[in-house]
Structures are given as structure tokens and as C-alpha cells.
Chain A
Amino acid sequence: MNKEEFLSGVKEKLEGLPPKELEESLAYYREMIEDRMEDGMQEEEAVAAMGSVEEAASQILDGMSLPKLVKAKVKLSRTLRAWEIALLIAGSPVWVPLLVCIVLVFFTFYVVVASLLFTIHALNLALAVAGIAGIASAILQFATNRGLGGGLTLGAAIFSTGASVLLFLGSRHVDKAFIHLAKRFGIWIKSLFLRRFEAMEQLEGQKGTSI
């Protein structure tokens, strides 16, 4: 593959990007190939050192922030045809509530999980407080010569404290799992945009070649 073939290959893969962004990426690879050739490499060799066209394209996308990706995607959808826009508007009574619904479902899921966590922590705190109060009360009862009551209270207090410690250890794992899940969800959202972006590009590319 020669230099121009490589560059036009990358360009084709990133057709939907803002022109400035695209130009900058291509200028970078052009400079890199030319510098290698100046260093004594053959053109083909220098191009081969760049890796595959796909890798170059995906790294360029990777370096872009999510807002930029979304903007680029919006730009792509601006080339919609009139009937597509009409269809979107006509369909809005269906897809707008649907979208709102999906967002709400995710939000609800988060709230439910978060409140579950809150409940666990509240229970944990209650057990700890009950344990400490119980021990204090037991000491008081022992001091006032009510040994039987004191013993019972002490037993309950130790049980409560133990349960709270166990719950605390367990709840840390649950917390971690929740944070992990939230992170994964964020990454998933970003990948959704990336994937859709790539799919749109392929679509655009096919349109380009068929005409």
C-alpha cells in the first residue's frame, strides 16, 4: 500500500468527522510517513509501519472526547433526507415517550439500587448503635445488681454488634459492585455512540460507492 492509498483508506473510514478534525489526523499520518521515508525507508515500508487502516481510524476516534463524537454524529444526521425528517416528526408521538420511558427506567433502576444500599447502611448503623447502647445498659444493670437482666442485655448487645460488623464487611462489597456497575454503564453508553457512529459511517460509505 502506498501513502495515498493509506490516507484515503483512513479518510473513507472517518467520512463523518468534522473536516478540520479529519484534515488534522490525515496531516499527522502524512507527516509520519514522510519522516520515515526521509529516514531512509521505502514508501511501502513506511506505510506498513503505521499499522492497519482500521487501527489508525479507531485510534483517531479514541482520541476524541464523547461530546465531539456526539457532535460529529449529529452532523451526520443533518444530511437526512426530507422524508426521513418528516418520518421522524410524524413518529415523534411514539419515539419521544419511548425514549423518555427508557431514560426513566434506567433512572429508576439507579434510585432503587441506591436506596437499597442506603437501607443496608441505615440497618448497619442501627445495629451498631443498639450494640453500643446495649453494652452500656448491661454495665449499668450489673452495677445496680440486676445480673440476670444485665446478662440478657449483654448477649443481645454482642449479637447486635457482631451482626453490624458482618454487615459492614458485606456491604463494602455491595458498594464496590454498585460503583463498578455504574462505571460499566457509563462505558457502555460511550461504546453505544461509538458503535452507532461506525455503523453510520459504513452506511455512508456504501452509499458513496453505489452512486
Chain B
Amino acid sequence: MDIQLKRGLLEMGVLAAIKRKDSYGYQIIKDLRPYVTISESTLYPILRRLETADCLTVYNIEHNGRLRKYYRIMPEGVQRLKKFEEEWKQVMAIYDFIRKEEQEDE
């Protein structure tokens, strides 16, 4: 898959994973696992970018005598998810058209 596209999709996946409830790194990876495999090394720059873009904010919670970072979605992040859903409808419409044309070719 195109790297830029995949990056954008993973960003949306991460935002969706923290939307309902604040979450932490490993939990995000586990939540996404049934749908897409994302490694720790891939997740890190995504979280950083989303933080820089004010899509999420980070805070620490003590857990078993160590600190764990939790990520909370910000209004900008919610906005981006909404925009993504809108745009994706167009993508799906084009996808349906492509499928239809291909089926007619067969």
C-alpha cells in the first residue's frame, strides 16, 4: 500500500482507538490487532505527529510502581475523524464503481 495512505489510515485507527476511552500504547496496539498489525516502532511517530497536531494530549498515570502514558483525544482529533468519515464515503463510492465495472467486464 502507498506509504502516505497507510500512514493516514493508521493515524485514523489510533484516533478511533482512543476516542471512546483514554488509552495507552500497548492497549492501542491490542485494540487494532484484529484489523491491522501495527508495530511499536510504527506507532511511536504516529503518536508524536498526532500530539504535535493537537489531535491528542498525553498524561502519566502510575501503574504497578511505574509511569504509563495515557493518550486522550482532543477536539481537533475528533474533527479529523469526522472529516475522514466524510471523505471515505467518496472513496467507497469510487470503489463500488470500480468493482461494478470489473464485474461487468468478466
Contact = CB atoms under 8 A, between A and B. Distances in A.
Given A50-B40, A51-B39, A32 B26 contact: yes
B49 A63 contact: yes
A62 B66 CA distance: 27
Contacts of B26: 31-32, 35-36, 39
A31 B41 contact: no
Given A59-B44, A60-B45, A62-B45, A35 B24 contact: yes
Given A35-B24, A35-B26, A63-B48, A55 B41 contact: yes
Q: How large is the interface on A (under 10, 10 to 19, 20 to 34, 35 or more residues)?
A: 20 to 34
A49 B40 contact: yes
Contact of A34 (B39, B44, B66): B66
Interface in B6-53: 24-26, 39-42, 44-49, 52
A36 B27 CA distance: 10
Interface of B: 24-26, 39-42, 44-49, 52, 64, 66-69
25 contacts: A27-B67, A27-B69, A28-B69, A31-B26, A31-B69, A32-B25, A35-B25, A35-B26, A36-B26, A38-B64, A39-B26, A49-B39, A49-B40, A50-B39, A50-B40, A51-B39, A51-B40, A56-B40, A59-B42, A59-B44, A59-B45, A60-B44, A60-B45, A63-B48, A65-B52
